[in-house]
Structure 1
C-alpha cells in the first residue's frame, strides 16, 4: 500500500475513533451523574491520552538528515 494512502486511511480511522469516543462520553455523562471516583477516572484517562500523544508525536530529530 502506498504510504500516503495508508496515512489517509489512518487519519480517517482516527477521526472515526474520536467521534465514537465523544459520543460515548456524552452518553455516559447523560446516564451517570457525577461520582466521587469520577475525578480519578478522568485523571486516569487524561494520563492515557497524554501517553498516546507522546507515543504518536512526530520525531523531529529523525527528519533532519
Structure 2
C-alpha cells in the first residue's frame, strides 16, 4: 500500500475513533479516584509492554 494512502486511511480511522470516544467520557470525579485510575492505566500499559518484550522467566524445575 502506498504510504500516502495508508496515512489517509489511518487519519480517517483515528478521527472516527476520536468521535466515538467522546461519547464515553467519564464524569468528573475526585482527585483520589482520578489518580487511582491513572495508576491502573499505567500498570496495564507496563504489563502490555512486558508481554511483548520477552517470555516470562521461570525457575527451572529439577526433580530430586
TM-score, structure 2 normalization: 0.44
More helix by share: 1
TM-score (structure 1 length as normaliser): 0.44
